[in-house]
């Protein structure tokens, strides 16, 4: 079944913010918090500096009506800086790889800041773009859906 969630970016405050949201919505995280220290090393990926190794890579919290918020800490070492426009992303999880590609192709027309669709180490087919209207879209398809 397809899902939509809202992805929130923070600058070192993800865990604090999500613990707050957990109390507000009185729900529990889906899975555990993944930290940058949990990322397996792979070729071409730069090492994460010691001061960012304990930052959050991913967290997911159900809130209301089947909606989930997800979050990550942006990494200054990779040139990331949270600002209005990159602090919120609409995450789409289509039912099929073909539908994921269709949506990515259409939403990335005239887009900037494009991360092409690719198979990722966490088991998803993933990509991202900032569309021509300034809206950030993330695409995740997993065969286990």
Distance CA 52, CA 48 (A): 6
- Cβ 57 vs Cβ 74: under 8 Å: no
Global pTM? 0.75
Alpha helix positions (H), 1-137: 14-25, 97-107
Please, what are the domains in the chain? Answer: 1-82 (3.10.180.10), 85-145 (3.10.180.10)
Sign of CA dihedral 15, 20, 21, 26: positive
DSSP 24: H
Please name every residue paired with 73 in a beta bridge, in sequence order, or none if there are none.
Answer: 10
pLDDT in tens, the chain (145 residues): 888 899 999 999 999 999 999 999 999 999 999 999 988 877 877 788 888 899 999 999 999 889 999 999 988 877 778 776 678 889 999 999 999 999 999 999 999 889 999 999 888 999 999 988 788 899 999 976 4
Give the count of alpha carbons within 13 A of 101, CB side only. Answer: 5
């Amino acid at each position: 079944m397809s899902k939509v969630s809202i992805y929130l970016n923070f600058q070192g405050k993800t865990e604090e913010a999500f613990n707050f949201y957990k109390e507000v919505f009185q729900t529990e995280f889906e899975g555990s918090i993944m930290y940058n220290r949990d990322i397996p090393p792979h070729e071409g990926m730069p090492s994460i500096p010691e001061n960012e190794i304990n930052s959050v890579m991913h967290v997911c919290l159900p809130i209301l009506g089947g909606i989930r918020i997800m979050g990550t800490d942006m990494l200054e070492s990779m040139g990331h800086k949270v600002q209005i426009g990159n602090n919120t992303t609409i995450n789409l999880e289509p039912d099929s790889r073909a539908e994921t590609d269709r949506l990515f192709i259409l939403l990335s027309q005239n887009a900037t800041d494009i991360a092409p669709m690719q198979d990722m180490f966490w088991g998803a087919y993933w990509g991202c773009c900032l569309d021509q209207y300034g809206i950030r879209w993330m695409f995740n398809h997993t065969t286990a859906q």
